[in-house]
Structure 1
Amino acid sequence: MIHLSNDFPKEFKWGSSTNAQQFEGGFQEGNKGLSIADVRKNDGNQNESDFDDFKTASDHYHRYKEDIKYYGEMGFQIYRFTMSWSRVFPNGDDIEPNEEGLKFYDNVLTELEKYHIEPVVTLYAYDLPLHLLKKYNGWMSRNIILDYSHYVRTVVKYFKGRVKYWIPFNEQNYLLLDSKYMSGYQTKNQTELFQMQHNFNLSYANAVKIVHDIDSKAKVGGNIGNSCVYPKTCNPLDVEKADNVMKRIGYGPADVDFKGQYSAYYLNSFKDVNFNEIIQDNDLKLLNSVKPDFMSLTYYMSSAIGSNDNVDSMNAIKSPNPYCKTTDWGWTIDPYGFKHYLEDFYQRYQLPILILENGLGAHDILENNNQVHDDYRIKYLANHIERMKEAVVDGVKVIGYLTWSATDLYSTREGFDKRYGFIYVDKNNDLKRIKKDSFEWYQHVIKTNGRDLSLRIE
């Protein structure tokens, strides 16, 4: 008998995400080593008045109990955080791990367990140990594969049985658009870019095998960022350009993560590269051997691409659509694009999906009565959840939904001017935590398993 449901399944998981380099702080505490995030500087392109650094961020390092208590109050069933490689191995290539670093993440997991929140752990999010960049140019060298694998093996073994979902890299496909931010090294040409991408891919393959070998009950999957590209018009030249962008930035990297192969169209997008000088014996066999358990996807906006658009930078994903409104930062607001993305990738790869990030960055205002009225965020999330439900009803298997972000954190290029969280961080008052209107709204969404989005503003 066929039974169709209009609701999320009972086992659907609700929660949110953060990221160590943007949230954790405590950059020189607990014997942590420096990472590329700790020495990042304003590149001169930002217009924000209060651009600061990642060294303090939201100070989660000292406030993790308070933060996780809020998550328990909201009713999170799942929570994604990232581990900092340089907190576990200060130099990145140490033989023995830093016990204080392991203890910190042990404490975080203990607090999550206290509130019955299931952890999702990302192992790398743009915070390479600085020592490895200086030693051998980091991800440009195949030496990184062994050092990263040692780090992965250490934490997966140490936390065996306590982490069900592991994600080796955050939005790895964006390496093609911003190698400097992701790795600390600006690639000079297509050969260097592919060499770096190949080292990431081999490290990912090793990580998948390590997780499966150490913890048979744990699940592991790759992460693809925000790949929903429309042609700007029905002009075949625009359609072709949009298709090529998806092949290079979306499907090409996803084919590696979820099918274990380099597709010809992906390799063809790297011009004048001698792949035989980079791909060594058994590399392709390693890539093809891994079998991920799920795919994790992030989504903020769709992009409208025209034949004359430059698509070789992060601006490619911010191409405007005249039929959609935008955020304060010009990011297209397109809930249907979310549904399109989910159905497209599920039909293509036939793996369960974990939504790792979805959210709205805005200039949140703290009122005199210590309130933050963020109905625009409620509207954005509610409309995206509705579209996600449509995809689920249409047969897309979605494990859970994690917003970006749980608490305000340091945005990658806009500091605290750009906020995403359900909980406001008051920079002018000792980083005090303050619930926004969206806090109680999302609490209600979780309680009703997404059935009641009644606080949505039309």
Structure 2
Amino acid sequence: MIHLEKGFPKNFKWGSSTNAQQFEGGFNEGGKGPSISDTRVESESLKDASFNDFKMASDHFHRFKEDIRYYNELGLKIYRFTMSWSRIFPNGNDNYPNKAGLEFYDHILMELEKYNIEPVVTLYAYDLPLNLLKKYNGWMSRKVITDYSNYVSTVATYFKGRVKYWVPFNEQNFLLLDSKYIAGYQARNQTELFKMQHNFNLSYAKALEIIHKVDPGTQVGGNIGNTCIYPKSCDPNDVEKSDEAMKRIGYGPADVDFRGQYSPYYLNSFKGVNFNEIIQKDDLDLIKSVKPDFMSLTYYMSSVVGKDDNTENMSVVKFPNPYCKSTDWGWTIDPYGFKHFIEEFYHRYQLPILILENGLGAYDELKNGNINDDYRIKYLTEHILRMKEAIADGVNIIGYLTWSAIDLYSTREGFEKRYGFIYVDKNDDLKRIKKKSFYWYKKVIKTNGVELL
């Protein structure tokens, strides 16, 4: 008998996400070493002058028990956080892990376990230990593969049986658009860019191998940042340019993460690179060994590309669409793009999908102790409805995690750009205040997506 899914599966995992470098704080406490995220903003211009770096962020380091109590009240079934490499290995390549760092994440897992919230752990999110950047230019050197693999082996062994989902890298494909931010080193040419991407790919393959060996009961999957790119018009030249962009920053990296292969069209996008000087013996065999259990995707917006557009930097995922509204930061609001993105990747790779991030960044205004963020509720409602349609079309979606659970330090806009269900009041000792969307999402979770409006 044929059964067509009409709603969300019974055990659908509703959750939310955060990221260590944007949320954790405690940059020099508990034995943590400096990372590139602790220093990168010294030369950047940010709107939020009172929070000019990631060093304090939302101070989750000191408030994790309070924050996780909020997660329990919200009803989260699943929660994604990232571990900071330099909190485990302060220099990135120490002989022994930092005991206090392991204990910190042990305590976070204990709190999540207390409330039966399933953890998803990302192991790298733009926070390379600074020492490795200084020592050998970080991801430019193959030495980083050994150091990263040791970090992966350490945490996988220490937390064996306690983490259901591991994600080795956050939005690994965006290295191609902003190597300075993702890796701490600005690639000077296509050869250097591919060399870093190759070291990422080998490290990812090693991570899958290590985690599956250490903890066969867990699941591991790659992560691709949103790449839903439309052609600017039906001019074949516009279509070709958008196809090239998708192959370069979408399907090419995804082919490695989810199929274990370098597709020719992906390699052809790196002009003038002598791959034989970079790819060593047995590298391709290691990449071919990749067998992910799921794929995780992040989505915020779609983009529109024309034949004359520059697709070599982050603007390629942010080009405006005249048919869509946009956020305060010019990000296109496109719920259908979410469905299109999900279905394209599922049909291509046939792996279960975990939506790792989806959300709206906005100027939230605190009035009389309240934050009425109806615009966030509208955005999430429309995207959830489109996700529901994708499920009805046969897409296997494990769960949906919003960005973010609590306000955190946005990558380039500081605290002015807020995403959370819980407001962080930087004018009142980082006090936590539940927004209107908190109560809305609580209802969504409780009714398994039935009551959205």
TM-score bucket of the superposed structures, by smaller chain: over 0.9
Q: What residue in structure 1 maps to residue 375 of structure 2?
A: 376
SS of 2:355's equivalent? strand
Q: Write the deviation string for residues 133-154 of structure 1: whole angstroms up to 9, x where unpaired.
A: 0111000000000000000000
- In 2, Cα distance between equivalents of 1:431 and 1:8: 36
SS of residue in 1 equivalent to 2:356: strand
Q: Give the structure 2 partner of residue 347 of structure 1.
A: 347
State the partner residue of 1:439.
Answer: 438
Amino acid at match of 1:269: S
**1:275 maps to which residue?**
275
1:112-140, Cα deviation, whole Å (9 max, x unpaired): 00110000000000000001001110000
Shift of 1:5: 2.5
Q: Name the residue aligned to 1:291.
A: 291
Question: For structure 1, which segment, 75-84 or 307-316, has the greater mean C-alpha deviation from structure 2 after superposition?
Answer: 307-316
Aligned equivalents of 1:359, 1:286: Cα separation in 2: 35
The DSSP-based 3-state class of the residue aligned with 1:38 is: helix
Aligned-partner SS, 1:116: coil
Paired position in structure 2 for 1:330: 330
Deviation at residue 372 of structure 1 after TM alignment:
0.4
Equivalence for 1:209: 209
2:29 maps to 29
What does residue 244 of structure 2 align with? Answer: 244
> Contact 2:47–2:416 (CA<8 Å) still a contact in 1?
no
Partner amino acid, structure 2, of 1:78: I
Displacement, 1:52? Answer: 1.4
1:152-171 alignment, distance < 5 Å = 152-171=152-171
Alignment of 1:44-63 (within 5 A): 44-63=44-63
Task: Tell whether 2:51 aligns with 1:72.
Answer: no
Tell me by how many angstroms 1:41 deviates. Answer: 1.6
SS at match of 2:36: coil
Question: 1-side partners of 2:207 and 2:336: how far apart?
Answer: 33
Q: Could you say which residue in structure 2 is the equivalent of 1:397?
A: 396
Q: Is the 8 A contact 2:5 2:391 kept in 1?
A: no
Aligned-pair CA distance for 1:362: 0.2
- Partner Cα separation in structure 2 for residue 377 and residue 50 of structure 1: 25
How far, CA to CA, are the matches of 1:95 and 1:320 in structure 2? 49
Secondary structure of 2:39 counterpart: coil
In the alignment, the residues of structure 2 paired with residue 42 and residue 338 of structure 1 have an alpha-carbon distance, to the nearest angstrom, of 35
The alpha carbon displacement at 1:156 in A equals 0.4
Q: In the alignment, does 2:420 pair up with 1:421?
A: yes
Quote the residue 1:39 is aligned against: 39
Q: Structure 2: state its 5+ residue gaps.
A: none
* Maintained 8 Å contact 1:326/1:332: yes
Residue 266 of structure 2 corresponds to: 266
Contact preservation (8 Å) 1:171, 1:223: yes
Determine the C-alpha separation between the residues in 1 that align with 2:98 and 2:304. Answer: 46
Shift of 1:3: 1.6
Deviation sequence 1:295-318 (CA, Å, 0-9, x none)? 000000000101111111111110
CA contact (8 A) 1:424 1:434 kept: yes
Alignment of 1:353-372 (within 5 A): 353-367=353-367, 369-372=368-371
Q: Which amino acid aligns with 1:200?
A: F
Q: CA deviation at 1:46?
A: 4.0
What CA distance in whole angstroms lies between the structure 2 residues aligned with 1:49 and 1:138? 29
Map 1:103-114; keep pairs closer than 5 Å. Answer: 103-114=103-114
Separation in structure 2 between the aligned mates of residue 427 and residue 21 of structure 1, nearest angstrom: 17
Local SS of the residue matching 1:124: coil
- Looking at structure 1, the residues matched to 235 and 4 of structure 2 have their Cα atoms a distance apart, in angstroms, of 39
Measure the CA separation in 2 of the matches of 1:318 and 1:264. 26
Gaps of 5+ in 1: none
Q: Secondary structure at the match of 2:450?
A: coil
2:16 corresponds in structure 1 to 16
Q: Distance in 2 between matches of 1:45 and 1:355?
A: 31
Q: CA offsets per residue over residues 352-390 of structure 1, 9 Å max, x none?
A: 0000000000000011x2100000000000000000000
What secondary structure does 1:399 align onto?
strand
Q: Which residue of 2 aligns with 1:450?
A: 449
Q: Could you say which residue in structure 1 is the equivalent of 2:235?
A: 235
Q: How does 1:118-197 map to 2 (within 5 A)?
A: 118-197=118-197
Amino acid in structure 2 at the alignment position of 1:413 = R
Residue 408 of structure 1 and its aligned partner are, at CA, apart by: 0.1
SS at 2:146 equivalent: helix
Q: How many residues are aligned here?
A: 453
How many Å separate the matches in 2 of 1:114 and 1:46?
A: 38
Amino acid in structure 2 at the alignment position of 1:434: I
The 2-side partners of 1:303 and 1:50 are apart by: 32
Cα distance per residue 1:208-259 (max 9 Å; x no partner): 0011001111000000001100001101010000000000000000000000
Conserved 8 A contact 2:407-2:420? yes
Over the aligned positions, Cα root-mean-square deviation in angstroms equals 0.8
Deviation at 1:50, TM superposition (A): 4.5
Conserved 8 A contact 1:410-1:416:
yes
Q: Which amino acid aligns with 2:250?
A: G
Question: Is the Cα contact below 8 Å between 1:51 and 1:414 reproduced in 2?
Answer: no
Contact 1:21–1:127 (Cα < 8 Å) also in 2: yes
Shift of 1:47: 4.4
2: distance between equivalents of 1:401 and 1:91?
34
How far apart are the structure 1 equivalents of 2:181 and 2:151?
Answer: 21
